[in-house]
Structure 1
Amino acid sequence: MIGMLILSHSNLIAKGLVETCKQMAPDINIEGIGGIEKRLGIDAELALQKLNEMLENNEKVVIYADIGSTVLSAKTIKELSSRPADVHIVDAPLVEGSITGSIEISIGSDIDKIIEESKKSCFIEKN
């Protein structure tokens, strides 16, 4: 299976996206990390720990991150992980991309399709 890790500066955003993705795709393995001690930020050590735990139970893990230091943390934890080749940082909008990715994971899409469809989510017209 392919797991999903959501990284955000906000714990509320990370947990809310996990909840939303689970409602759309209840059987996926998804975790969210955000905030540091009830403030905005990212705990890279916790994110690395969670990523390595996910790699124990999944053949691959996709990471969705919001902005700035969270993206840098995603790149760092990928390289420090137990299996960097099996970690994919998805260049997609956090909300739309992770929801699209969760659905693709739930229907058994391969890693390339998950990433491709997630990237397309930035082109969704809203008016």
Structure 2
Amino acid sequence: MIGIVVVSHSPALAEAAVALALQMTGDTRPAIAIAAGAGEGVIGTDAVRVADAIDEVASPDGVLVFMDLGSAVLSTTMALEFRASTTEVRLSSAPFVEGIVAGVVLAAAGASLDEAEREASSAMTAKNAQPGSAAPAEAPATQAEVDVAVTAEATIVNDVGLHARPASVIVAKMAGFDAKVTIADADDPGRSASASSLLALMGLGLGKGTRLRISGTGADAAEAVEWLRAITADGYGE
């Protein structure tokens, strides 16, 4: 499991962001280290603290680092020269809060360093797809994918809709399937997202009463689509 390091000028900010992310992971949690502040009551960052944090959570799977402001990036870059561990370290360019949430949830689900970094970095794509922003164009499905797609429909019944916690449960479960699954608003197909993308699912803003069209391709598509249909009909366990 990859390790997560959070570098911030403010301990309170870092701790709050990590606490938010951990609410979505259940019992399985990745190793997380916070390197925040530059001394007792001093706002800032310290390269030595960052290096120690990296060494604390270093694993063969790598370490993903999230930083809040510009000088945090400088401190983290310097820290790479001070650390004792030799594991691969990636410095994420993701927005601070969204990146931490995505990185922690994906790490807990057993995602690779590449997968967690990619999901965290997609945070702005999900935000940009909100009403009033130009949504990025998605590649159309190939004819082969259309021909073998497994589909199902389900209506969201829980009061708060497809919010952060259900989205994290879905993403963690999808990691275990050999399938590419998409969730869409059946009455507004343009509102769709990969069931493997935490931030994209959260960005859809699907509320109670929304009728979902669930589509999947791949070896485990039937199992994945049925699991997702059933948990949606059950209110995501809430």
* TM-score (normalizing by structure 1): 0.88
Residue in structure 2 matching 1:35, options 12, 34, 37: 37
Worse-matched range after superposition: 23-32 or 7-16:
23-32
* CA positional deviation for 1:123: 2.1
Decide whether the 8 Å contact of 1:11 with 1:38 is kept in 2. no
Which portions of structure 1, spanning 4 or more consecutive aligned residues, are displaced by more than 4 angstroms?
Answer: none
Q: Deviations along 1:10-39, whole A, 9 cap, x unmatched?
A: 111111112112222251111212112213
Higher helix share: 1
* CA positional deviation for 1:85: 5.1
Q: Deviations along 1:38-79, whole A, 9 cap, x unmatched?
A: 131012212211211222xx2211100011110111111123
Q: Does 1:71 align with 2:73?
A: yes
Q: Call closer, same or farther: CA 1:22–1:38 in 2, change over 3 Å.
A: same
Residue in structure 1 matching 2:118, options 110, 116, 119: 116
Aligned length: 125
Greater RCO, 1 or 2 (C-alpha within 8 Å, sep 6+): 1
- Name the SS for the 1:38 alignment partner: coil
**2:121 partner letter:** K
**1:53 partner letter:** E
Alpha-carbon RMSD across the aligned residues, in angstroms, is: 1.6
Aligned counterpart, 1:6: 6
- Name the SS for the 2:33 alignment partner: strand
Decide whether the 8 Å contact of 2:9 with 2:72 is kept in 1. yes
- Name the SS for the 1:40 alignment partner: coil
Q: Bigger radius of gyration, 1 or 2? A: 2
Decide whether the 8 Å contact of 2:33 with 2:56 is kept in 1. no
**1:16 partner letter:** A
* TM-score (normalizing by structure 2): 0.49
**1:45 partner letter:** V
* CA positional deviation for 1:84: 4.8
Aligned counterpart, 1:23: 23
